[in-house]
Amino acid sequence: MEIGLILPNAGDLARADSMYRIAEKAEALGFDTLWTADHLVLPVESSTFYPYMPGMKIRPDARHAFIDPMIALAGVAARTHQIRLGVSVYLAALRHPIVAAKLVASLDQLSGGRVLLGVGSGWIPEEYETMGISFGERGHVLDEHIDAMRALWSQDHPSHSGEHFRFDNIGFDPKPVAGNIPIWIGGNSRPARRRAARAGDGWHVIDVPVAELRLGIHELSELCSDAGRPASEVPISMRAQIELTNEPVPSDKRIAPLTGPLEHVLEQLRAYQEIGVSHMALWPRESTLEAYLERMDRIAAEILPVFAAVGRSES
């Protein structure tokens, strides 16, 4: 199982010095990927709470810095050489597909073909309303957006005619280095699984417990069969908060599955690997640069070697 790291491009660590140090250290320590997050605008007031921490009424602070994920990764690309770069996840439907496809392909060229693109439908109604997009229609817009981006990346003279976007009689360059960009479909819901089965190069979830994810993977396999493709074409990845504690944390007190002493976290990671998760994007729950770097050191020393050894024995 590959182990990636969240690059904090929002909040207190969304500063050039912090992000560059984290990125350079992540590559030096042997992490496989770096992941940014995305929001275009954040509401000052909202009736909606972050959906991936049930029972906790949390919203992003509209005053927090939120550096554009593509800009953040472009800066990081100039300071790294091998580590892959992704967005977990890009709210593509908030942009025109020509603009989004241009940004992603340009980043892929500048990074030497290291880009992975997670896309999702988002969860903040006000963000879509601000951009003049119906929140209830966002899934349909995203589906069409994905098809349009792939046309732009793959066709010599790209064209698309849909309900939301139309273009023809254009050239489009640069193309991605490998001719395409892997698109991982983000979201824990059935619509996300259905989208991943139809159009995804992967399914990317957030903090789903093992038992629940096992059921989701089974359903994804059935949806892939319905779509006429093998489930092996849609690998599973997870963005996961990680908090290493000295004492065990009761299950009803855990903010996320990877919360507890090292042995508990390793046990959980092995369980995820056993049900088919091939990539983990770990998000240390730290608010200062020093603490974030220290947590990276511990993950690199105590977690990365476990899964690197498994990978070598299976190869």
Please say if the pLDDT value at position 311 is more than 70: no
Domain 2-314: state its class.
alpha beta
Q: pTM (2 decimals)?
A: 0.94
Strand partners, 86: 35, 116
The number of angstroms, rounded, from the C-alpha of 93 to the middle of its chain's C-alpha atoms is 15
Mean pLDDT of 286-303: 97
CB 60 within 8 A of CB 48: no
Give the pLDDT score at 281.
98
Listed residue (7, 30, 11) closest to 19, CA to CA: 7
| pLDDT, the chain, mean | 94
Q: How far apart are CA 285 and CA 263, in angstroms?
A: 18
The label of the residue with tokens 């002493």 reads 261
Please say if the pLDDT value at position 310 is more than 90: no
pLDDT tens digits, 203-262: 999 999 999 999 999 999 999 999 999 999 999 999 999 999 999 999 888 989 999 999
Q: How confident is the model at residue 267 (pLDDT cuts 50, 70, 90)?
A: very high
What type of residue is 259? T
Please say if the pLDDT value at position 313 is more than 50: no
Mean pLDDT of 96-112: 98
Percent of the chain with pLDDT over 90: 89
What are the tokens at 102? Answer: 């241009």
Give the pLDDT score at 63.
84
User: In the chain, what are the domain boundaries?
Assistant: 2-314
In the chain, DSSP assigns E strands to 2-6, 33-36, 84-90, 115-119, 160-161, 166-167, 183-186, 202-206, 236-244, 258-260, 277-284
pLDDT tens digits, 44-65: 988 888 777 766 777 878 888 8
Please say if the pLDDT value at position 312 is more than 80: no
